[in-house]
Amino acid sequence: MKLYKIANVLTLSRILILPLFLIFLMNSSLNSHYRLISYLLFIYFFLSDLVDGYLVRKGGERNYVGQFIDPLADKVFLGVSYIVLTTHWGRPPGIIVLIIAGRYIILGFLWFTAFFVSERSFFEFLRMENVLTTPTLLGKATTWGEVILLGSIVFNLPSFIRVPFYFLVPTFSIITGGNYLYLALDRIKNYQSASTEEEREALKRMNDFLRRWGIFREKTGSSPLRE
């Protein structure tokens, strides 16, 4: 089996272990063995995220499916875990979860809207390899901040370690969400700079869609906005 396929299996396994992780974590106060299992499952989540990235780099092949399912698996695991923890334990505070979830919703809505409007197949859209389909370094850093915050709650680390992330994570979520939105809209607006005709046509469809909704507007008495 090719390394990138193993990496994708590891990625999908992070979603599959989520129900078990939450069940054991929510009952960890009843049984020390449950607590240990929840710790091990979280460690597996953490390590598998590192290993699948290493396998893809080692294989040296483009993993377009992985570029989609890897951040998706992280967001599902983190988002659902935060909602459950906030509901049952009150940690982290609800406002932080709302900010994190808001970023996920905005980015997800933009991605799926771009995909459907582009009229491309799933694989064709992923192969476009721009900000619409490829996570940014700042976005990855934000995700790792969310992982650390979740880990600090799961392992009940001292407040002086946990509390700073109550401020850092939502701050970075707002910054990265805004940055992603700006870069994506700028890419769509300037679709003519795309490197391939296929990508240019897909981005133009997105541009036309946003113009119909009044998000992109033409300058009165002059040429359209730079495209």
What's the pLDDT at 132?
A: 63
pLDDT-derived band at 131 (thresholds 50, 70, 90) equals: low
Which is more confident, 204 or 61? 204
pLDDT over 70 (residue 204): yes
- Rounded to two decimals, the pTM is 0.85
Q: DSSP letter string over 167-215?
A: HHHHHHHHHHHHHHHHHHHHHHHTGGG-SSHHHHHHHHHHHHHHHHTTS
pLDDT-derived band at 223 (thresholds 50, 70, 90) equals: very low
Overall average pLDDT of the 128-141 stretch: 73
Domains of the chain: 3-212 (1.20.120)
What's the pLDDT at 78?
A: 95
pLDDT-derived band at 152 (thresholds 50, 70, 90) equals: very high
The highest-confidence range among 36-50, 63-77, 119-133, by mean pLDDT, is: 36-50
Alpha carbon separation from 12 to 66, 94, 130 (Å, rounded): 10, 28, 23
| Least confident among 69-73, 129-133, 163-167 | 129-133
What's the pLDDT at 218?
A: 55
pLDDT over 80 (residue 31): yes
pLDDT-derived band at 226 (thresholds 50, 70, 90) equals: very low
**What is the greatest pairwise CA distance in the chain?**
72
pLDDT-derived band at 225 (thresholds 50, 70, 90) equals: very low
pLDDT over 50 (residue 162): yes
Distance of alpha carbon 48 from alpha carbon 55, whole angstroms: 10
What's the pLDDT at 21?
A: 96
What's the pLDDT at 221?
A: 43
pLDDT over 80 (residue 9): yes
